[in-house]
Each structure stands twice: as C-alpha cells, then as structure tokens.
Amino acid sequence: MPTNRATLELFAALDRSRPEPLRAQLEDAICAAITGGGLPPGTRLPASRSLAESLHVSRGVVSEAYAQIAAEGWIEVRHGAAPVVRAVPANIKRDSPSLCSVVAEAPRLDLTATAPDLSAFPRRAWAAALRKVLAEMPDAALDYGDPRGDDELRTELAAYLVRVRGAAASPEDLVITSGYTQGLWLACRALKRRGATRVAVEDPSLDDAWGTIRSAGLEVVGVPVDEHGIDPSRLDADAVLVTPAHQFPTGAVLSPERRRALLAWGGIVLEDDYDSEYRYDRAPVGTLQRLAPDRVVYLGTTSKTLAPALRLGWLLAPKDLTEAIAQERWAVDSGGPAINARAYARLIATGEVDRHLRRTRREYRERRDLLVEALTRQLPSCTVDGVAAGLHLLLRLPPGTDEDAVVRRLAERRIRVNGLNTYRLAPKDEPALVIGYGRLSKPAIAGAVDQLELTV
Ligand SMILES: Cc1ncc(COP(=O)(O)O)c(C=O)c1O
C-alpha cells in the first residue's frame, strides 16, 4: 500500500550556512532516505507546497528538487498528482575490489563511461525477435553448435560489418563471443599458445582489459597516448590492444601516419571497435582490420548499442588464428548461446538494429550538445575534449587540481565518476574527469553540471 502523503513526515536537515544550494541539499536528503530504505518504492511524497511549508523553504526549492531527482529516475512526477518513489536498482560496482559487492548507496548520478542508456533497449523488438526465433528454430538448432557461434548470426553479422564498418568479414572468420571481454580473452589465449608473452595497451585505456589480458597468462605493458593516439614507434610486445576510431578514454582518433606505422609494425593488432556506431560530427574512421585482415583481430560488442546484459560480441580473426580461438571457446563453454544470437541476427536482418542506432544516435548527440554547452559555460577554466564520437567526453581540470579529491567530493554527493588516472597504468599529474552521458538523461544534465561546478 502506498504511504499516505498527508501523514508523511520527511526529515531533511537543511543548512543555510553550507555552500550547496538548499535545493541540492533537499535532493540529497530525499535520495538518502530512498537508498536508506526510509522511503520504499511506491511511497507518495508530500505535495511541494506542504513540504515547503514544513521545511520553511520556498515552494520553488521543493519543485526544483523534485524535478531534478525525477529526471535522475528516483521519483515519478505526474501532473496534478503527488510524486511517487520509484524502485532504485541495486548497483553492481564495476571497479570494486569485490566484483559482486552491491554498492550500499546507489549513486544519484552515474557518470561512469560504461553502459549506454538502458531505458532505450528495444524490449518490444527483442521480445518479438525471440518469439519468432523460438517458433521457427528447428530442434536440431538447439543442440551444441559450431564453436564459432550461431551460423545465422555469423552470416548476418559478416554482411553487416562489411556494410557498416567496411570490414573484411566472412562468416568463416567470425567468432561470436560473450561480449568484447571474452573475445579479448580468447584472442589472448590463442596468442599465448603461439608463444606470445606481452601485450601492449594504450595508457590510458580501459582498466578491465588489463585484468583480462593478465588472466589469459600474458603480461601487460603500457604505451603512452597523446592527441594522435598511441605511438607505434614505442611498441615492444607481441601484440597491441588499441581503440583507433575513438581512443578510450581520451577520445583521440589515431592519426593517418600512426595508422600506417601501426600496420607496418610486425605484431598482432587487437582492434577494439567498441563505440564506432556513435559518431556525430566527423567523417567515419575505417577499421584497421580492413587494411590488414591477416594481422588484425577486430573486436565488437552490443554493450554500447544495446545492453551489457546481453553479453553479446564478436571477433574477426586472421585465418590462422580462428581455429585456435574456436578451440579456446569450446574449452571454456562448449560454444555460445544460440537463441539470443539468432534473435540478434533477426534484428539485423529486419533493419531494427539500423533503426535503433538512428534513434539512439540522435538522442546521444542531443545530450552531448547540451552537456558540452553547459560545461563550457559553467566551467570556463576546464577544457572539454573527445566529443566527436561515443558516449563519453573528457573534462580536463585546471592544472594543479587534485583529481582524486574532486572524485571523492563528487562521491560524497553520490555522483559516481572516474578520474583519468583510473585508466592510467602510470598515473600522471594531468587532472581530468571521464564523463559518460549514457546514463545521463537530458533533463538531468543541468543538475549534473551544477554539481560539477560546485565541486571542481
Ligand atoms: C573501451 C571499451 N571496450 C569495450 C567495452 C565493452 O565490453 P563488453 O562487450 O565486454 O561489455 C567497453 C564497455 O565499457 C569499453 O569501455
């Protein structure tokens, strides 16, 4: 039963001597009550007028606080009705020492650069595709299958990667994986079998990937990245993992000279093409794989376009590596889940993937424009970088800023964001925040930038 708002007492210690506006303090107090279990899902909150009276603040303070936390997904506000507390999902922290620990306090705003907008997942289209697939799939297709993954998806995906990414793809060279992460691990295992010992990574780069490489038994060495991407002349390894189309997390594009140098280098290139679907105001950057299919392992994922929970990715390997990779896949889990794979094949074949990308590209572009505009206006001492593509940007803080302290202060306000040093093997004194806008709805952007302005 929803709690009756007429009798609901709400504690909020608002302190006018604190630098944070009363509105922000009230937002914090309500969110703390929600995460602390004091306001369970379904609770009706007081009308803005009565809460304003009981807290001795103006009604505008309460309405603005309600609007902000509604935009962040904490409560639901419907015209003419009392706001209602929504169910706050438990958050699994990606970078926690214990991977499965549940964060006690859910962040009010999650600006980490990992997930896309999960509310955009095309549930109806996915459900329809699954229904169709289950109705049509012959019994034999429910058996163990090809270690490279479902043949229908490999066929659809090969054509899709040729069309959309200009890749040199054929169904035989594709392996469907459980996300990019498994693809990277499988490729590393296959390389280790061939005698590889060291994999170079961009510094900075996705920290999770370092653990994946190490767990495949290989050493990780960092190579610095500048505004032109990684410098291949500094490579001393058997293979290198790169994000050439949109360097993670700096947003740099690998320059033409360095692309050439990388392709001329003798080792294997692991090309992480994690977010190339989201490109806004720059020409498409082709894949390295297309130029050297015999030396590049191309890795893709649905984690940025659809949802990480699908655990659906792929790799395109040089012919002499595909068999070893398929064997590793078989050893790990006797092949991948064919039902989901076939549903995704159907979404590609029916044009649903293209439609979804067009919709979400427009949405992310609008978010990016609003975010960049607000950051440039409200934080003029910072520089915004890496905005031409993807779902995140880099906010460079004024020299001398203590990056860790900024991240900590934001965490105290329950704003989750990573500093650039999170992604560096060799930390540097070049303070910056990596700000993801996948989970930042348009109405929540103004409040997020206000919080950054107050903290930086
Ligand atoms: C640089 C980079 N590569 C790849 C991925 C996707 O990994 P996966 O497909 O294993 O979810 C991510 C997700 O955050 C990423 O940031």
303 lines ligand 1 (CB under 6 A): yes
Quote the pLDDT of residue 89.
56
Residue 356 has pLDDT above 70, yes or no: yes
Those residues whose C-beta lies under 8 Å from the C-beta of residue 390, and which sit 6 or more positions away, are: 246, 251, 275, 278
Residue 2 has pLDDT above 50, yes or no: no
Q: Residue 416 gets which letter from DSSP?
A: E
Question: 228: buried, middle or exposed (CB in 10 Å: 19+, 13-18, 0-12)?
Answer: middle
289 lines ligand 1 (CB under 6 A): no
Q: Decide which of 194 and 27 is more confident.
A: 194
Residue 1 has pLDDT above 80, yes or no: no
180 lines ligand 1 (CB under 6 A): yes
Please provide the average confidence, as pLDDT, over all residues in the chain: 90
Nearest protein Cα to ligand 1, atom 4: 274
Residue 337 has pLDDT above 50, yes or no: yes
Residue 25 has pLDDT above 60, yes or no: yes
At 326, the amino acid letter reads: A
Structure tokens at 335: 């092949």
Instruction: Give percent above pLDDT 90 in the chain.
Output: 71
Residue 12 has pLDDT above 90, yes or no: no
Start-to-end Cα distance in the chain = 43
Residue 228 has pLDDT above 60, yes or no: yes
User: Using one digit for the tens of pLDDT, what is the confidence trace for 186-215?
Assistant: 999 999 999 999 999 999 999 999 999 999
Look at the pTM and tell me if it is higher than 0.75.
yes
Quote the pLDDT of residue 98.
36
Q: What confidence category does residue 34 fall into, taking pLDDT thresholds of 50, 70 and 90?
A: confident
Which residue of 110, 301, 418, 422 sits with most ligand 1 atoms within 8 Å of its CB, as the best mutation to test the pocket? 301
Which residue of 112, 117, 178, 181 sits with most ligand 1 atoms within 8 Å of its CB, as the best mutation to test the pocket? 181
Q: Decide which of 402 and 36 is more confident.
A: 402
Quote the pLDDT of residue 105.
56
Query: How far away, in angstroms, is 116 Cα from ligand 1 center?
Result: 11
308 lines ligand 1 (CB under 6 A): yes
Q: Which atom of ligand 1 is nearest to the CA of 249?
A: 1
391 lines ligand 1 (CB under 6 A): no
CATH of 5-85, one of 1.10.3720.10, 3.40.50.170, 1.10.10.10, 1.10.472.10: 1.10.10.10
Query: How far away, in angstroms, is 251 Cα from ligand 1 center?
Result: 14
313 lines ligand 1 (CB under 6 A): yes
User: Using one digit for the tens of pLDDT, what is the confidence trace for 422-447?
Assistant: 999 988 999 999 999 999 999 999 99
User: Using one digit for the tens of pLDDT, what is the confidence trace for 100-145?
Assistant: 333 345 788 999 998 899 999 999 999 999 999 999 999 999 999 9
Residue 93 has pLDDT above 60, yes or no: no
251 lines ligand 1 (CB under 6 A): no
Query: How far away, in angstroms, is 209 Cα from ligand 1 center?
Result: 9
Q: Which atom of ligand 1 is nearest to the CA of 206?
A: 1
Query: How far away, in angstroms, is 273 Cα from ligand 1 center?
Result: 9
305 lines ligand 1 (CB under 6 A): no
Please state the domain extents for the chain: 5-85, 109-120+355-455, 123-353
Q: Mean of the pLDDT values across residues 240-250?
A: 96
Quote the pLDDT of residue 82.
84
Domain 123-353, second-level architecture: 3-Layer(aba) Sandwich (3.40)
Task: Please check whether the two domains, 109-120+355-455 and 123-353, share a CATH topology.
Answer: no
User: Using one digit for the tens of pLDDT, what is the confidence trace for 157-192?
Assistant: 999 999 999 999 999 999 999 999 999 999 999 999
Q: Catalogue the long-range contacts made by 122-126 (C-beta closer than 8 Å, 24 or more residues apart).
A: 122/306, 122/347, 122/352, 122/356, 125/347, 125/352, 125/356, 126/343, 126/347
Quote the pLDDT of residue 74.
87
Q: Which of 256, 316, 245, 314 is nearest to 285 (CA)?
A: 245
Per DSSP, the three-state class of 83 is coil
CATH number of 109-120+355-455: 3.90.1150.10
438 lines ligand 1 (CB under 6 A): no
Query: How far away, in angstroms, is 40 Cα from ligand 1 center?
Result: 33
Residue 421 has pLDDT above 90, yes or no: yes
Q: Which atom of ligand 1 is nearest to the CA of 243?
A: 1
Quote the pLDDT of residue 4.
45
Whole-angstrom Cα distance, residue 216 to residue 236? 19
Question: Per-residue b/e over 3-13, b at no fewer than 16 CB within 10 Å?
Answer: eebeeeebebe
Whole-angstrom Cα distance, residue 58 to residue 23? 10
Q: Mean of the pLDDT values across residues 144-164?
A: 95
Beta strands at 418-419 and 432-436: parallel, antiparallel or unpaired: antiparallel
User: Using one digit for the tens of pLDDT, what is the confidence trace for 266-311?
Assistant: 999 999 999 989 989 877 888 999 999 999 999 999 999 999 999 9
